[in-house]
C-alpha cells in the first residue's frame, strides 16, 4: 500500500483526495496538512511514501519545503499537484528534487497514475511536457529542453530578461531589430509561452538569467 500525505491549504482539496483513495487497494492517504511547515512534523512521526503537494502554501512554499525535506529524506517522493502553469514550474520543481508535476485540471485517473509512477521511481509530467522536455524514466536532465536553443537565442533571452528593449538588444548584438523580433518569436515557440512576462519567468526559473 502506497502511503500518501496530501499538502494543500484548501480543505476541499485535501478532503477530495482523501475520499478519492478511500477504498483504493493500492493508495492510502494517511494524512493531510495545510502548510509547508507541517510537512516536517508529519513525516517525522509517520512513514510516508509520496507527498502530494501544492506549490503555494502558507509559511513555507512547496518548493522550499521540498529542498529541505530531500536533505533528510532522500527516498521520499514528492509530486506537485498545482494550479500553476506546468510549462513555467515543472522544470523548477524537478530541479529542486520533485518526482513530478500534475495540474489540478487533470482527472482522477491521471492523479492515480501519477502517484503510482513516482512511487515506482519514475518522473511524472503531462504527455505534452514530457515530449517537450524529451524526458523519460532514466531521469535525463530537464535542461535537455533548453539545448534546443541556439547560442544567439540564449543571448537574446538573457538580454530580454535583463530588461533590454529590442532596439538595445539589436545594438548590443550588432543585428537589426527585425532579427531580434524573429529570435523572440522563436523563443516563445520553443519555450511554449505567449508573452514576454512568462518568457522572462521561464529564464529566471531555469537560471538562464544573470541575476
Q: What is the pLDDT of residues 41-73, one digit of tens each?
A: 999 999 999 999 999 998 888 988 998 998 889
Domain boundary among 102, 120, 140: 140
Domain-ending residue, one of 89, 117, 140 = 140
CB atoms within 10 A of CB 74: 8
- Rounded to the nearest integer, the mean pLDDT of the chain is 86
pLDDT above 90 covers what percent of the chain? 54
Write out the residue range of the structural domain in which residue 182 sits.
Answer: 149-205
156 and 128 within one domain: no
Please report which confidence band the pLDDT of residue 152 belongs to, taking 50, 70 and 90 as the band edges. Answer: confident
**CB contact at 8 A, 48 and 76:** yes
Strand 50-53 with 27-33, pairing: unpaired
pLDDT-based confidence at residue 15 (cuts at 50, 70, 90): very high
Average pLDDT of span 108-120: 95
* Contact of 180 with 166, CB cutoff 8 Å: yes
Q: Residue 211 has what pLDDT?
A: 44
Cα 68 from Cα 48, distance rounded (Å): 16
Look at residues 140, 162, 182 and tell me which one is the last residue of a structural domain. 140
Is residue 78, in this structure, part of any structural domain at all?
Answer: yes
Give the chain's end-to-end CA distance (angstroms, integer): 45
Place of cell 512568462: 198
Q: What is the Cα–Cα distance from 137 to 113, expressed in whole angstroms?
A: 14
| Domains of the chain: total | 2
Q: Enumerate the β-bridge partners of residue 5.
A: 31, 51
Cα–chain-centroid distance for residue 25?
28
Amino acid at each position: 500500500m502506497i502511503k500518501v500525505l496530501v499538502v494543500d491549504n484548501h480543505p476541499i482539496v485535501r478532503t477530495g483526495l482523501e475520499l478519492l483513495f478511500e477504498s483504493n487497494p493500492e493508495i492510502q492517504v494517511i494524512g493531510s496538512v495545510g502548510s509547508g511547515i507541517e510537512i516536517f512534523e508529519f513525516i517525522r512521526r509517520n512513514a510516508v511514501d509520496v507527498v502530494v503537494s501544492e506549490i503555494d502554501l502558507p509559511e513555507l512554499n512547496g518548493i522550499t519545503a521540498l529542498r529541505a525535506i530531500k536533505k533528510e529524506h532522500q527516498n521520499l517522493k514528492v509530486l506537485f499537484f498545482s494550479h500553476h502553469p506546468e510549462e513555467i514550474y515543472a522544470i523548477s520543481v524537478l530541479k529542486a528534487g520533485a518526482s513530478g508535476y500534475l495540474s489540478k485540471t487533470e482527472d482522477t485517473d491521471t492523479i492515480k497514475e501519477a502517484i503510482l509512477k513516482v512511487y515506482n521511481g519514475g518522473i511524472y509530467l503531462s504527455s505534452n511536457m514530457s515530449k517537450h522536455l524529451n524526458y523519460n524514466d532514466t531521469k535525463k536532465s530537464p535542461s535537455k529542453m533548453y539545448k534546443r536553443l541556439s547560442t544567439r537565442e540564449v543571448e537574446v533571452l538573457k538580454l530580454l530578461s535583463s530588461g533590454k528593449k529590442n532596439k538595445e538588444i539589436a545594438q548590443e548584438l550588432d543585428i537589426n531589430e527585425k532579427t531580434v523580433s524573429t529570435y523572440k518569436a522563436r523563443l516563445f515557440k520553443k519555450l511554449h509561452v505567449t508573452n514576454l512576462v512568462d518568457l522572462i519567468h521561464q529564464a529566471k526559473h531555469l537560471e538562464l538569467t544573470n541575476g
